[in-house]
Amino acid sequence: MSPSALTPVFVGLRTGLHVLLFGLLALVAARALLTPEPNTAVVLGAVALFGATYALGIVAGSRAGAGPGTRVVPVARFEPGARVERRRLLWLTALTLEWMLLLWLSREAAYLVFPLFFVVLHLLGRRAGMLAVAAMTAVAVIGLGVHEGWSVAGVIGPCIGAGVAVLIGLGYAALAKEAREREALMRELLETQAHLVATEREAGTLAERARLAREIHDTVAQGLASIQMLLHAAERADPEGPGVGHVRLARDTASADLAETRRFIRELSPPDLDGADLEQALRRLAEATTAAHGLRVDVRASAHPLPMPVQTALLRIAQGALANVTQHAGARRATITLDETDAGLVFTIADDGQGFDADAASRSARPSPDSFGLVATRDRVQQLGGTLAVASTAGRGTTLTVTLPREVAA
C-alpha cells in the first residue's frame, strides 16, 4: 500500500503521545526524588516498570507490522476500530495495572491517565475504548480523592481530560478513515490508468495488424493474383507446348500461396465487430466458411456481451480453428459454442473430421508447420489468463475448448 498523504500527521500524533507519556512519567519520578518518602524506592521501581512496559509495547508494535490483508493493531500505530490480538490486550492490561499501582503510590501518577486515554481509545476502538476511558476516569478521581481529599477540581479535571481525549480520538479516527478512503481512491485510479494503458496498447496492436493486412493485400496478394492470371494466359496461348507442365505447376503453386496469403490476411484483420456482437461475427464467419468450403458450421452462443479484446481473440481463434478443419480434418460439420458456466467463459469448436493423435502432438519436441495455428491459439489463450484443451482421436473428430476466468470476461 502506498503511503498516505496523512502519514506524517499520524506519525506526529503518535510521537507527541509518546513524548507526553514519558514526560509525565519523568515528572512522577522527579517528584519522588525531590520529596523523599519511605516508599520513594518503590515509586521509582514502579516508574521504571511502567516505562519499560510501555517501551516494550512500542518496540513490539513497530517490529510486528501488519502483514498484507491483516487487521491486527501494532501498539505503536493505533489503527482505530481494528481487531486486537490477545497479546495486545495483555500489554494494555499490564500497563493499566501498573498505572493503578503508581496512582496508589503517588498522586502525580493521576496525570498519566490523559495519554492512557488515547492508548485505550485507539487500541480498543470507539465503544470499548469509551467504556475503558470512563472506568479509568473514575479510578483517577478516586486516586486524587484519596491523596488530596475530595474536591470539585479533583473530579472535574479528569472528566475534562477524558472529554478532550474522546474528541481528539474521534478526530483521529475521522482522519484515519479519510486516509483509507484516499488510498482506496488512489488504488482505483492507478488500476484505471493501467487498464487504459492496456486498452491503448491493444488498440495500437490492432491498428498495426490492420495496417499489415492492408499492405500484404495490396502488394503480395495482388502480385500473386497477377502471376496466376499471367500463367493462365500462358497456358491458354500454348496448351500443347513443351513447357505447359511447368506452367501448370507454377500456376498451382501461385494459387496455393495466394490462398495462404489471404488466410494470413484474415488472421490479421478479423471481421468487423463494430455495431455487432461476437455471436453475429461468428455467424458471418460460419456462413463464409460454408459458402467457400461446403463445411456446415453451427453457432450456439449464450454469453453476455464481452470486452472487445476478448471478442477479437475468440474470433481469431475461431478463424484459425475453422481454417485447420477445412484444410486438414476432412470434416462435414463443425459446431462453435460460447457459453457461461461456473468455471467461467467456455468457448468450444468441435468437428466430425478424421482427427489426430493429440497426445503424440503434445509430446512432440518440434511441432509441425501445420500446428502453428494451434500454437498461436494457445498463446492467445494464455495472454487472456485462460486454459486451452484439445481432445482428438484419430477418426473421431476434434474438440478445442477455451476456458476463460470470469473476471476476464467481465
Among all chains, which residue has been given the C-alpha cell 498484507?
68
pTM of the predicted structure, to 2 decimals: 0.40
Residue 381 near residue 402 (C-beta atoms within 8 A): yes
Residue carrying the nine cell digits 497477377: 226
**pLDDT tens figures, 16-64:** 778 888 888 888 888 888 888 888 888 888 888 988 888 888 777 666 5
CA distances, 103 to each of 20, 99, 138, 191 (Å): 17, 6, 12, 54
28 lies in the same domain as 176: yes
Residues 151 and 22 in one domain: yes
> Which triple of cell numbers denotes residue 132?
475503558
**pLDDT for the residue numbered 28:** 83
Residue 298: CA atoms inside 13 Å, Cβ hemisphere, count? 9
> Is 34 or 373 the better-scoring residue by pLDDT?
34
Is 406 inside any structural domain?
A: yes
Q: Are residues 133 and 43 in the same domain?
A: yes
Domain containing 396 — which CATH number? 3.30.565.10
Last residue of a domain, one of 193, 223, 253: 193
H-state helical runs in 332-405: 358-363, 372-383
Indicate the residue among 158, 193, 228 that finishes a domain.
193
pLDDT at position 67 = 37
Rounded CA separation 86/55 (Å): 18
* Number of domains within the chain: 2
249 within domain boundaries: no
Concatenate the DSSP letters of all residues of 137-203 into one string.
HHHHHHHHHHHH---HHHHHHHHHHHHHHHHHHHHHHHHHHHHHHHHHHHHHHHHHHHHHHHHHHHH
Query: What tens digit of pLDDT does each residue of 226-275 get?
Result: 888 888 888 888 777 777 888 888 888 888 888 888 777 777 765 555 44
186 part of a folded domain: yes
176 and 280 assigned to the same domain: no
In a shared domain, residues 184 and 322: no
List the grid coordinates of 61. 508494535
Q: Which domain does 326 fall in, by range?
A: 273-410
Both 167 and 299 in one domain: the answer is no
Q: State whether 160 and 301 are in the same domain.
A: no
Are residues 189 and 336 located together in one domain of the fold? Answer: no
Instruction: Pick the last residue of a domain from 193, 216, 250.
Output: 193
